[in-house]
Structure 1
């Protein structure tokens, strides 16, 4: 239990600091979000892939783990939305909040504190998989813009080019001159703390409203995602640490990107925002249970 709390409490405290900062300081959250998306996360991806000791087999297994979990959650949310007779915008929102886990701001720090550097390496691969799959399929689903428009959108993201650069440096064995690798690593180290502070600020500036839908949708993401991730990991025959990372990342709350994409391409934006906030808060209750569970079944 102490080990589990040691993985969750540091995350919660940094988020709390961000929450207080968001309530007391006049900060430009959109600028910090863009800094994270276009600078810090790409630096973390490139640095992690450059330094990783993860084998191609493990990486492929984790990539497939996310893809199958994502498809399963999309299908489950869509069927439930249809059965419940929800409006079309809310149906889209339920799919988005159910299938888009917060693998960055929340997933990476928890993986680091719970599973160490080896867990973080795998969590980065999971995050890359989520970026590729979600950004290449979600716009087409929400807006109907087609698969290739989603692919083109994905290719514009710095994360994709950071992934290519990191893999290229890793596979080529090139050593960066003038200690540029240390500079990259220094920037990458800022990602986790800034992401958690930003998450707290976003909660501080969001409206909290807990109704039946918000609670049910949040549990579908948190509990349903964890169960789906475990079933997929077992189906793929993933090794212990890979399984733990897939389950843990699949148990993350709804991503802020779910709100951003629904707001941009179609769906109920207000409803999505509420689920993102509620699921994030509930995650501090469900994640210790998930960490305990994967320590047993892993």
Structure 2
């Protein structure tokens, strides 16, 4: 119980502070978001790769498990869409909901509190894989652009280049002089609470309304997706911390970026926005259960 409370309550508190802060102080979310995207998140990625202790084999297995999990979820969405004869907008909305777990703002935070620094290293690697799908492949799926066009967008992301820098520093064993490594570490640490504050601010501006469609999509995001991830992880030989991170990151609620993608490339914006809210709120019930299951001696 302690590990569950210690993982979820700090995250909920910081999100609540962002919620209340935006209601009372009218904070500038765009500035905070830019600081997070262009400074803090890249620093966290670079620092995590710089200091990572995960083996190349474990990283490749995690990548394989993520790709297979994402492929299965995508295939499931296509089948459900055809069976239910969803409209084009609803189909795109369901796709964004299913393929965009909040493995940044919430995922990194939950895993940092529940699984420590070693878990966080793996969670950052998962986030990078997810970012490639989100910014490199999802636009092509939603708009019909070529994969090459979407990948060009991906390679403009600071997260990708910070990953490259972190990998170079890691493999060359370069020690940053004048305590610059500490600066990188501090910026990375700051990324997590700022991201949660931004999430709280976003929640404060969205009405809490949902229907059967949003509730069903939420169940898929919070319950079915992690079951798929766990099964795939076991299939490719993941265990221990690697399997826990894969499952937990896949169990996160829908990310705010999903509605940004839908607004930009088309789809049911209302359904996605409502699902973000309900999945985020419901995740505070489902994530403790998953953490308990994944940290149980029986798993």
TM category (shorter chain) comes to: over 0.9
TM-score w.r.t. the length of structure 1 is 0.97
In structure 1, distance between residues paired with 2:3 and 2:180: 35
User: Pairwise CA RMSD of aligned residues?
Assistant: 1.1
Q: Could you report, residue by residue, the CA deviation over 1:63-90 in whole angstroms, capped at 9, with x for unpaired residues?
A: 2222211111111122112212221111
Question: Any residues of structure 2 matched to 1:148-187 within 5 Å, and which?
Answer: 148-187=148-187
| 2:5 corresponding residue in structure 1 | 5
Distance in 1 between residues matched to 2:34 and 2:76, nearest whole Å: 32
Q: Which residue matches 1:194?
A: 194
Aligned twin of 1:219? 219
Task: Output aligned runs, 1:115-126, within 5 Å.
Answer: 115-126=115-126
Partner Cα separation in structure 1 for residue 259 and residue 174 of structure 2 = 40
Shift of 1:108: 0.2
Give, in whole Å, the separation in 2 of the partners of 1:40 and 1:280.
23
Q: Give yes or no for the alignment of 1:235 onto 2:229.
A: no
Q: CA deviation at 1:125?
A: 0.6
Is the deviation greater in 285-294 or in 79-88?
79-88
**CA offset at residue 32 of structure 1?**
1.4
The SS at the match of 1:209 is coil
* 2:274 partner SS: helix
Return the alpha-carbon distance in structure 2 between the equivalents of residues 36 and 65 of structure 1: 28
Unaligned runs of at least 5 residues, structure 2: none
After TM superposition, what 4+ stretches of structure 1 lie above 2 angstroms from structure 2? none
Are the counterparts in 2 of residues 54 and 122 from structure 1 also a CA contact under 8 Å? Answer: yes
1:61 aligns with 61
Q: How does 1:120-159 map to 2 (within 5 A)?
A: 120-159=120-159
Displacement after TM superposition at 1:6 (Å): 1.4
CA drift at 1:239: 2.2
Consecutive unaligned residues in structure 1, runs of 5 or more: none
Contact 1:67 1:130 survives alignment (8 Å): no
CA contact (8 A) 1:67 1:133 kept: no
1:45 Cα deviation from its structure 2 partner: 0.1
Q: How does the TM-score come out when normalised to structure 2? A: 0.97
Q: What displacement does 1:278 show?
A: 1.1
Give the distance between the partners of 1:23 and 1:70, measured in 2 at CA. Answer: 36
